[in-house]
Amino acid sequence: MTAPAHRRRGFTLLELLIAIGILALLSLLAWRGLSSLAATRDRLAPLNEDSRGQLAAFGQLARDLAQAAPTVPLRLASPTVQVRGDDGGQTLQVQRLIAADVTGATLLQTILYREQGGALVRQSTPAAATVGGGDGATLATVTLLPQVKSVRFRLWRDGAGWVEPGAGEPAPAAPGAAAANPPGIEVLIERRDGTQLRRVLLVG
C-alpha cells in the first residue's frame, strides 16, 4: 500500500498580511526618499541656474579682455581697455579685435560692461575697420546676470597695485607713442541679496 501524498501547503492569511505590510513599509520609505530628492532638486535648481549664469558672464568678460586690441602695433593714443564713470556707476570699455572680414581687414568692436536696470549687461557696437568706427550706432545689449545692485572695476598698475579708475593713472603717452593697457582688471559685483562676486581677469 502506498503512503498518502502530502497535501501542498499554501500561504496563510497571517503570512499574506505580513508580506503586504512589509511591501507597504518599503513603498513608504521609497516614496519619502524620492520626495526628498525632488525637493532638493527644486531647491538647488535656481542655484545651479545662477551658477551657470555667473560662469557664462565671467567667461564672456574674460574672452573680451583676452581679445583686447594691443595699443603698441596700432599706435593708439588711448588704452583699448579703460573704465569710465557713468551716471554714478562705472562702465568697462573694451575695444577688441575680431575675425577679419572678406577683404582681409582687421575689424575692431567696442564692448561695454555696466549695471543697467538691475542687471549686468554687455553692449557692443557693430564691427568697424577704424577705432571708434561704430560709435553712434545702436548698441546690441545682452543681459548676462540679473539681480545686480552694482558693478565696480579696479585696474592693476605696475608699482601701485590695484587702483580705482582715475587714480594712479600712468603718465600720458608721448606724441606718436602708444598708450598702455592695464595688465589686469578686478571685477566686483554686488548682488541684491548682499552677496559679492569678485574676479581678477588678465588683459590681452
Q: How confident is the model at residue 196 (pLDDT cuts 50, 70, 90)?
A: very high
Q: Is residue 101 part of a domain?
A: yes
Q: Is residue 176 part of a domain?
A: yes
Range of 45-49, 142-146, 173-177 with top mean pLDDT: 142-146
Cβ pair 91, 153 in contact under 8 A: no
The mean predicted confidence, pLDDT, of the chain is 82
- Measured from the Cβ of residue 95, the count of other Cβ atoms closer than 10 Å reads 25
Q: Is residue 121 part of a domain?
A: yes
- pLDDT 10s digits, 28-76: 888 888 888 877 777 767 667 888 889 999 999 999 999 998 877 667 7
Q: Is residue 27 part of a domain?
A: no
Q: Is residue 38 part of a domain?
A: no
Give mean pLDDT, residues 127-151: 81
Note down the domain range covering 120.
62-202
Q: Is residue 33 part of a domain?
A: no
Q: Is residue 192 part of a domain?
A: yes
pLDDT in the model for residue 133: 62
Q: Which residues contact 51 (CB under 8 A, 6 or more apart)?
A: none
- The more confidently predicted of residues 85 and 131 is 85
Q: Is residue 85 part of a domain?
A: yes
What's the domain count of the chain? Answer: 1
How far, CA to CA in Å, does 168 sit from each of 55, 72, 182? Answer: 31, 21, 11
Cell (9 digits) for 200 = 581678477
Q: Which pTM does this prediction carry?
A: 0.72
